């Protein structure tokens, strides 16, 4: 039998931390690592498989023969099998063949800690070293200023496989994206990009939300180092990077984490807690110490090894509620008799505490669709500890309002104003994400009512309202130029549309909105504080008009916003203002360059006429289906 030496990277301290669920850099110890032992170069393998009777490494180096390179089980009852195999080098394909103590089951598994994987549908792991010379020192030094909660946060959400494709419909590589995507995001003035999951996944229609390689960027677009080039280039252009992260569930694919060593190792053994009925997938056992260490280590890994600036945590609601998507009898209450998953809540709190303590200037963002209290509040104040939370209620109410014909909007004024009753209960991000443009929902453009002109005017109004509403912003790719069709992950966006004036107009307006957002502190300095917002008038339902003030630290920087949700031009519309100096129009979504009608306010006279509980007031013209901003 070929030699597998009894070498280890694991210390007794590592093992104690692992057993306690407190080892948060497991990626430095488990998995495959190219090392030199007694002058011989090779690879050290370590895998957690406590129910195994034997574990061997199989791969292209031994013709995938089971039992020829058997690992050694540790004496400390950690359940870890390890060993050093000489002459195994970078690029070697491998898996673990695991003979279980449970009924003689044998599994063949990809390495849970693999840094690189074969391109699906192939399922092997690849020995890799990951060396890279980062060039983003400047960004990492001032990231806390660029990535803070009091800074502009305008996010461009991207699916790497369908943002743009080559003429033969092949993917762009990470290196090609590092040129094309970075250039575009910078031109559009977004502050951040959010990548839908880049971790290795076997099934394209899952969009990456069913992971099998938690520590490996998908090889569809290149190597791990080439993905680092993409992140690096974004940072060099002052663009932050957010990754979607999926600790909520994982697929049952034979090479994945499910039934890993012939037992329910990573998933909860009780199907009421361990199986997700919506996605037909497995749910992590959040109460098992070693699984907690795996998940928190994975979150740490992307920030440590890939310089990621934020994680957007997917499907948080499915984690924190035991009855999520389950009927009566399909779930069991916790020890207090309610529906909260105490183990998952504890995991999220510990994860957030660890990340914020370990990395300066990072953020975590929760996709949480319920009214769970304190998602973005600090853990020591009883919260989950996230930096931000997606404002799903605002998204739903706003799109429901906008799809109505303008003549009916006066009957639904509360739909567009209700969000301000809870806007400051969390640190909210306003999302128009990929989920809103699939499965028959239509594109944002085609959810708008009216003829072609009105559709585009409504879309411009939607974005203008979004950028002036308290909170940060997220726009899914294609929305920024008025993509006509629903998103299709198998094809490129319809970039040819940008040659047409209406589409190009929306694109230019979003670009200008991003610049405006960055340049006007009133829109971001206190974006999560009630002090940042004041209604002028929310009650003019008959005209379907909203007027409000956005406030920064200095009142001189405050801006006045007026939204006209009808296609009627409203002349001599009076609003009260708190100023006694000059006021001018600084943004207008109805500008000719955006495809609008060109109605504008060139000269605005302030009078001492009390209005809306202010001593002074102005008369302005409200263009059709528009947002105007005054200062």
Active site (catalytic) residues: 314, 367
Write out the E strands in 316-371: 363-366
Q: Are strands 154-158 and 192-195 parallel, antiparallel or unpaired?
A: parallel
Closest CA to 110 of 262, 249, 256, 265: 256
Range 31-34, long-range pairs (CB < 8 A, 24+ positions): 31/111, 31/112, 31/113, 31/114, 31/115, 31/215, 32/88, 32/94, 32/111, 32/113, 32/114, 32/115, 32/125, 32/127, 32/128, 33/9, 34/88, 34/89, 34/90, 34/127, 34/129
Q: Which residue has the tokens 């909520």?
A: 248
Q: Are 309 and 147 in contact (CB under 8 A)?
A: yes
Distance, first Cα to last Cα, the chain:
79
HSE-up of residue 582 (Cα within 13 Å, Cβ side): 6
Residue 530 three-state SS:
helix
C-alpha distance from residue 463 to each of 224, 258, 564 (Å): 35, 42, 13
Q: Are 360 and 144 in contact (CB under 8 A)?
A: yes
Q: What is the largest CA-CA distance in the chain?
A: 95
Strands of 616-622's sheet in order across:
570-577, 616-622, 606-607
Per DSSP, what are the bridge partners of residue 588?
628
Which residues, in sequence order, are CB contacts of 417 under 8 Å at separation 6+?
Answer: 538, 546
CA 146 to centroid of chain Cα atoms: 17
Closest CA to 42 of 146, 166, 171, 129: 129
């Amino acid at each position: 039998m070929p030699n597998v030496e009894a070498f280890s990277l694991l210390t007794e301290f590592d093992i104690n931390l692992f057993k306690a669920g407190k080892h948060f850099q497991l990626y430095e110890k488990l998995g495959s690592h190219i090392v030199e032992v007694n002058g011989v170069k090779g690879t050290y393998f370590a895998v957690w498989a406590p129910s195994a009777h034997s574990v061997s490494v199989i791969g292209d180096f031994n013709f995938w023969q089971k039992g020829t390179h058997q690992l050694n089980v540790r004496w400390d009852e950690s359940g870890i099998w390890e060993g050093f195999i000489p002459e195994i080098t970078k690029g070697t394909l491998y898996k673990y063949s695991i003979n279980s103590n449970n009924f003689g089951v044998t599994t063949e598994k990809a390495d849970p800690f693999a840094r690189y994987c074969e391109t699906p549908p192939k399922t092997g792991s690849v020995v890799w070293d990951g060396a890279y010379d980062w060039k983003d020192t400047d960004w990492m030094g001032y990231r806390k200023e660029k990535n803070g909660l009091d800074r502009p946060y305008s996010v461009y959400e991207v699916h790497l496989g369908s943002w743009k494709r080559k003429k033969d419909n092949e993917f762009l590589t990470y290196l090609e994206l590092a040129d094309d995507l970075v250039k575009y995001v910078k031109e559009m003035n977004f502050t951040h990009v959010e990548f839908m999951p880049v971790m290795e996944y076997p099934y394209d229609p899952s969009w990456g939300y069913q992971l099998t390689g938690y520590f490996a960027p998908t090889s569809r677009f290149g190597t791990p180092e080439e993905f680092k080039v993409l992140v690096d280039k974004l940072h060099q252009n002052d663009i932050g990077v957010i990754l979607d992260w999926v600790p909520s569930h994982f697929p049952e694919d034979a090479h994945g984490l499910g039934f890993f060593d012939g037992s329910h190792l990573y998933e909860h053994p009780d199907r009421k807690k361990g199986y997700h009925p919506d996605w037909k997938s497995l749910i992590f056992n959040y109460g098992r110490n070693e699984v907690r260490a795996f998940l928190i280590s994975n979150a740490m890994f992307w920030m440590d090894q890939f310089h990621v600036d934020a994680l957007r945590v997917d499907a948080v609601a499915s984690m924190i509620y035991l009855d999520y998507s389950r009927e009566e009898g399909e779930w069991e209450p916790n020890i207090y008799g309610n529906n909260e998953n105490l183990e998952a809540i504890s995991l999220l709190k510990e994860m957030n505490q660890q990340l914020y303590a370990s990395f300066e200037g990072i953020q975590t963002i929760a996709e949480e669709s319920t009214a769970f209290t304190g998602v973005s509040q600090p853990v020591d104040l009883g919260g989950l500890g996230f930096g931000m939370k997606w404002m799903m209620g605002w998204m739903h109410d706003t799109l429901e309002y906008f799809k109505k014909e303008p003549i009916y909007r006066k009957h639904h004024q509360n739909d567009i104003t209700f969000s301000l009753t809870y806007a400051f209960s969390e640190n909210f991000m306003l999302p128009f994400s990929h989920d809103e443009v699939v499965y028959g929902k239509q594109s944002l453009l085609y959810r708008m009512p009216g003829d072609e002109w009105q559709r585009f005017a409504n879309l411009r109004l939607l974005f203008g309202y979004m950028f002036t509403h308290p909170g940060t912003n997220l726009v899914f790719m294609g929305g920024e130029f008025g993509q006509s069709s629903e998103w299709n992950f198998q094809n490129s966006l319809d970039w040819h549309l940008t040659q047409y004036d209406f589409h190009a107009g929306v694109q230019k307006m979003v670009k200008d909105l991003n610049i405006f957002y960055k340049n006007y502190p009133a829109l971001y300095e206190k974006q999560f504080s009630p002090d940042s917002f004041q209604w002028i008038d929310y009650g003019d339902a008959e005209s379907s008009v909203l007027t409000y003030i956005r406030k920064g630290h200095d009142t001189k920087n405050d801006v006045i916003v007026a939204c006209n949700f009808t296609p009627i031009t409203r002349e001599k519309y009076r609003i009260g203002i708190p100023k006694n100096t000059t006021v001018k129009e600084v943004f207008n979504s109805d500008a000719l360059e955006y495809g609008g009608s060109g109605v504008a306010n060139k000269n605005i006279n302030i009078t001492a006429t009390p209005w809306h509980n202010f001593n002074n007031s102005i008369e302005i013209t409200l263009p059709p289906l528009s947002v105007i901003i005054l200062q």
